Amino acid sequence: MKPKRLESELQDVGTFSHPKQNLEQYATTPALATKVLHLAAVEFGDIEDKSVIDLGVGTGVLAIGAKLMGAGHVLGLDVDMDALSECKENLEMYEPELEVELVLMDVIELIRRYDDYDEEESDESDDDDDNNNGDGKRKDYVWPKADTVVTNPPFGTRRKGADVAFLAAAMKMADTAVYSFHKTSTREYIQKVATKKLGAKSAKVVAEMKYGLKNQYGHHRKDEVEVFVDVWRIQPTCKMKRDGNNDEDEIFEQNLRELAANIEELQLSARERKDKHRSKNSNKNEEY
Ligand code: SAH
């Protein structure tokens, strides 16, 4: 399908009717979805006849676009039931209805659970720097798998570390390639995380985009905020493929555990900052 046609086919895909701020729900525009999917399909051969997972499917523009570009089985995962039902409505709009499997799933929780993370236990042992993750009890977890994973993840603005948690999950799920959107300001960091921590075979920025985020939430002062975004194509290493039970696998699992611990640390320090801020403000109030 030519880009113009794809873009016009995506015009009527409904976006979040009540976007949830804590989940960073921003729909990809038809123009951007077209740009990314066309690149993935034509330049890299990652869409046609390939199985695709859309991580954080939202109302479905990327999953729908992939299907229209000739993908095989498409699976959309999201933590928000409202988004999934809006996505379902969008799929039903097409004639014949587009087949995309939708599953309610908390991707961040999955990374934690895989790591057998226990919040209470971990909080207690924070001081002695004990590594609580033990022996990764959930190594038996069977991840959903696809040739290609596409994701416009939360950027981690509301929930620290969400972007990396998504990336880690995407790399567990993809056999061939991950397409993931990240703020350009985090380029170096993403490069390091993808290649060093998650052991990617390659990680390249394949497109740069600028998008105007409409003020759909109250906290933006301006009507529209411009955000520079990189589209990454990341090839996970072969060691992440289905079975392999070798040393490299061990290293990867270890890295993943560390990463999950880092995500927790980030969240924790964000919480602490907030608490401090709050107590400072209440002290101020007492002074007056
Ligand atoms: N893919 C869609 C939506 C992107 S917005 C599009 O491109 O238009 C990010 C999506 O991630 C939202 O739908 C949000 O509900 C979902 N999300 C946020 N946190 C999540 C989590 N922990 N697990 C799964 N999905 C999550």
Tell me what pLDDT residue 161 has.
87
Single-letter amino acid code for the residue at 103: V
List CB contacts of 95: < 8 A, sequence separation 6 or more: none
Q: Which one, of 181, 237, 175, 189, lies nearest residue 205 by Cα?
A: 181
Closest CA to ligand 1's atom 8: 27
| pTM over the 0.85 mark | no
Tell me the chain's radius of gyration from C-alpha atoms: 20
C-alpha angle 188/107/24, rounded to 5°? 70
Quick check: CB of 36 below 6 Å from ligand 1? Answer: no
Element (H, E) at 159: none
27 lines ligand 1 (CB under 6 A): yes
The token pair that represents 276 in the structure block: 């401090």
Strand duo 174-183 + 224-235: pairing: antiparallel
Ligand 1 binding pocket includes 26 (Cβ within 6 Å) = yes
Distance (angstroms) between ligand 1 centre and the Cα of 67 equals: 18
Q: Check pocket membership of 64 for ligand 1, CB cut-off 6 A.
A: no
Give me 80's structure tokens: 């928000």
- Quote the pLDDT of residue 131: 38
3-class state of residue 51 by DSSP: coil
Specify the ligand 1 atom closest to the Cα of 153.
9
Alpha-carbon distance 201 to 69, whole Å?
26
pLDDT at 110: 83
pLDDT reported for residue 53: 98
How many Å lie between the centroid of ligand 1 and the Cα of residue 18?
A: 13
Q: What is the pLDDT of residue 216?
A: 62
pLDDT of amino acid 259 = 67
Ligand 1 in reach of 62 Cβ (< 6 A):
yes
The reported pLDDT for the residue numbered 121 is 38
Q: 8, 18, 22, 25: which is closest to 213 by C-alpha? A: 25
- pLDDT at residue number 257: 73
pLDDT score, position 135: 46
E strand spans, 24-173: 52-55, 74-78, 101-104, 146-151
Eight-class DSSP state of 186: G
288 residues of the chain, pLDDT tens digit each: 999 999 999 999 999 999 998 999 999 999 999 999 999 999 999 999 999 999 999 999 999 999 999 999 999 999 999 999 999 999 999 999 999 999 999 998 888 777 543 334 333 333 333 334 444 445 567 789 999 999 999 988 888 889 999 999 999 999 999 999 999 999 999 999 999 989 899 999 999 998 777 666 555 566 677 889 999 999 998 544 444 455 666 766 676 677 677 666 666 666 676 677 677 666 555 444
pLDDT at residue 117, as a whole number: 36
